């Protein structure tokens, strides 16, 4: 706040309306590809399927056989104490490991920051479902006195945000935006707005999920949402004509977001800019997206407009792309509604869910990371599991790695049960970028 609006605008660090530009300075990931952003990006670029047979629980009696599980995860080996590994639910452990990586990459030193100006916006769609399930079993088998006194503070979904704030001493706002599968994107969007309007200088944002367990898989399977394919390589098929449901995934994605002024003042390396955010509701159905796709298209339009872009500027879409018949049909319709039939079919579309499965509350954060890397490296990763479209998903799904694709802006979509739509506009970082001069 020490720089006047006019001076900041002259330096290109503010938007035309005087609000702050928001940049990404650190990223971290825990995914079915392994621990770290490098493992994630290598898998996406190589079109590697990281889905496998369910090993987290005995799945003999389940129709669903495949999941995207984090392989060989060792919390202690990745920086947690033995006490933390025992006490924290797995979704919190994933969040901490991803956030540790993001903070390290950013170079942010909390001891040098005003802690009240650094916040956390980090969510989980389901929270500690392993803890809930175990608590219910303990109650039924051993009675109420044997239920852990830490059951509630271990299972509630805000504990990823709370424990991250405690770990790093971040004393600004600490929130958990829960919108099912749109959670990660909404948490990032909330963080962007907090920085843009001056409520924070830095935000740790993202999402985490650890719901590959028996009760969760049984519930999704009986809903008819999950793929029943026994072939992990063909279980998750975004936009493909033979798509038949999503594959349950898990992990976490974390991003360090800062105002451009703050990042420049401390000499941070800037990875990309979050240029826009859109958020809408379908008001249509508890689990199905509105087939008219108006809400999704409107969220995409909002994100572009906030960044000063038009649909003609769109370089690619990192789609929600779950591989369910309804989602992919609706999201395709939304893109064509946004860009027009002819132009919409030219926009490259990618989905990471063919490689990773659907990471639910973590999905939007991991997809935002992929989009940051895509725009900064001028590429579009291919879509695992996609072979051919049908008439309902006739969009330009990337089947191979697209290189040398400079982009002004890309969009990252998330859709959640309840009709929640969220979209981030992400651009390569350019100092003036036409935003303040």
Enter the tokens of residue 155: 């299972």
Question: Radius of gyration (Cα) for the chain, nearest Å?
Answer: 21
Q: Are 264 and 13 in contact (CB under 8 A)?
A: yes
From residue 198, give the alpha-carbon distance in Å to each of 92, 204, 260.
Answer: 28, 15, 12
Catalytic residue, chosen from 20, 262, 316, 358, is 358
Q: Known catalytic residue: 316? A: no
Catalytic residue, chosen from 181, 339, 379, 384, is 181
Catalytic residue, chosen from 320, 339, 384, 420, is 320
Side-chain-side CA neighbours of 273 within 13 Å: the count stands at 29
Query: What is the Cα–Cα distance from 227 to 65, expressed in whole angstroms?
Result: 9
Residue 112 neighbours by CB distance under 10 Å? 7
Query: What is the DSSP secondary-structure string of 177-205?
Result: ---GGGHHHHHHHHHHHHHHTTS-SEEEE
Q: Known catalytic residue: 320? A: yes
Identify the bridge partners of residue 420 per DSSP, sorted by sequence position. 281, 416
Beta-sheet pairing, 118-123 with 202-209: parallel
> Which DSSP category does 152 fall into?
H
Query: What is the Cα–Cα distance from 415 to 333, expressed in whole angstroms?
Result: 14
Q: Known catalytic residue: 66? A: no
Q: Which segments of 324-429 does DSSP mark as H helices, in order?
A: 325-339, 341-344, 353-356, 363-376
Q: Which residue has the tokens 């929600």?
A: 320
Instruction: Kindly list the catalytic residues.
Output: 181, 320, 358
């Amino acid at each position: 706040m020490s720089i006047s609006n006019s001076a900041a605008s002259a330096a290109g660090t503010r938007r035309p309306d005087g609000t702050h530009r928001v940049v990404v300075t650190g990223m971290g990931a825990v995914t079915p590809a392994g621990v770290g952003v490098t493992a994630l990006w290598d898998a996406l670029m190589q079109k590697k399927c990281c889905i496998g047979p369910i090993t987290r629980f005995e799945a003999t009696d389940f129709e669903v056989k495949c999941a995207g599980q984090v392989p060989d995860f060792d919390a202690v080996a990745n920086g947690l104490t033995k006490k933390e590994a025992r006490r924290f639910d797995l979704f919190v452990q994933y969040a901490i490991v991803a956030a540790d990586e993001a903070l390290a990459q950013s170079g942010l030193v909390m001891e040098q920051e005003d802690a009240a100006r650094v916040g956390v916006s980090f969510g989980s769609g389901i929270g500690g479902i392993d803890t809930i399930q175990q608590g219910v079993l303990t109650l039924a088998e051993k009675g109420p006195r044997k239920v852990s006194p830490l059951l509630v503070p271990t299972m509630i979904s805000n504990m990823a945000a709370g424990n991250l704030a405690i770990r790093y001493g971040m004393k600004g706002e600490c929130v958990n935006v829960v919108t099912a599968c749109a959670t990660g994107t909404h948490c990032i969007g909330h963080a962007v707005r907090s920085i843009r309007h001056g409520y924070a200088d830095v935000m740790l944002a993202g999402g985490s999920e650890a719901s590959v367990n028996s009760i969760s898989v049984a519930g999704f399977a009986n809903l008819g949402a999950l793929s029943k394919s026994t072939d992990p390589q063909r279980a998750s098929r975004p936009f493909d004509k033979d798509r038949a449901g999503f594959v349950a995934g898990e992990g976490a994605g974390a991003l360090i977001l800062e105002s451009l002024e703050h990042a420049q003042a401390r000499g941070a390396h800037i990875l990309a800019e979050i240029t826009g955010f859109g958020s809408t509701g379908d008001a249509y159905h508890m689990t199905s997206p509105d087939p008219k796709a108006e809400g999704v298209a409107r969220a995409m339009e909002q994100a572009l407009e906030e960044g000063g872009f038009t649909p003609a500027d769109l370089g690619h879409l990192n789609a929600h792309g779950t591989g369910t018949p309804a989602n992919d049909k609706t999201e395709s319709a939304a893109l064509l509604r946004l860009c027009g039939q002819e132009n919409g079919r030219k926009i490259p579309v990618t989905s990471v869910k063919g490689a990773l499965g659907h990471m639910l509350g973590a999905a939007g954060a991991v997809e935002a990371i992929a989009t940051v890397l895509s725009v900064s490296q001028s590429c579009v990763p291919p879509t695992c599991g996609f072979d051919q479209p049908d008439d309902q998903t006739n969009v330009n799904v990337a089947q191979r790695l697209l290189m040398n694709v400079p982009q002004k802006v890309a969009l990252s979509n998330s859709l959640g049960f309840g009709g929640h739509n969220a979209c981030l506009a992400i651009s390569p970082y350019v100092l003036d970028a036409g935003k303040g001069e």
